[in-house]
Amino acid sequence: MSEMTAPQSQGQITKFGTLAIFLILCAAVAASGAMFPPGDWYRSLVRPPLTPPGWLFGPVWTILYIMIAVSGWLVWSRGSLGKVRALGIYAIQLVLNAGWSAIFFGLQRPGLAAMEIACLWVSIVATIVVFDRHSRPAAALLIPYLLWVSFASYLNVGFWLCN
């Protein structure tokens, strides 16, 4: 009996170790965005209608990054063919996610950031589509992310047009 327990518990450790890696990866993406705080330039901009208060972004993104991490982990945990391609698309959207803050806040280029966020939006849709083939829950976990990035796209374009 103990011989059966060791591999099972080892598998559980590996499974949750992989989840930790996905959480760390998403935390790194979040940290890369935090390297470019809004600052005086952002505070001086004319805000588009429906701009939420600044305090809302941290909690929303924290929840979304956890969901993004769990989504990637669910696909990774599947033994299905094609998951490497799906996770490649997932990685692309993470890179685009990390790049947006650098462009919008770091370079202070809302027009260029609008083009970048459009690419991010497409990559999230592509990730949802390919993840759905491997895990419906993984795909569903990305829907709030897509909705938030849709709203962020509106805000980004609004900042660009208002300023």
pLDDT digits (tens, 9 = 90+) for 41-72: 999 999 999 999 999 999 999 999 999 999 99
pLDDT at 96: 98
Counting runs of H as helices and runs of E as strands, what totals does the chain give? 7, 0
Number of domains in the chain: 1
pLDDT of 9 above 80: no
Which residue, 40, 2, 50, 67, is CA-closest to 151? 50
Where in the sequence is the domain holding 43, given as residue range(s)? 2-162
The C-alpha atoms of residue 40 and residue 50 are separated, in whole angstroms, by 20
The predicted model scores a pTM of 0.90
The C-alpha atoms of residue 77 and residue 60 are separated, in whole angstroms, by 26
Say what percent of the chain tops pLDDT 90. 87
Structure token pair of residue 105: 């806040």
Q: How confident is the model at residue 136 (pLDDT cuts 50, 70, 90)?
A: very high
End-to-end CA distance of the chain: 69
pLDDT at 120: 98
Q: How confident is the model at residue 80 (pLDDT cuts 50, 70, 90)?
A: confident
pLDDT of 108 above 90: yes
| 20, 66 contact by CB (below 8 A) | no
The C-alpha atoms of residue 113 and residue 101 are separated, in whole angstroms, by 8
pLDDT of 5 above 70: no
The CATH number that applies at residue 75 is 1.20.1260.100
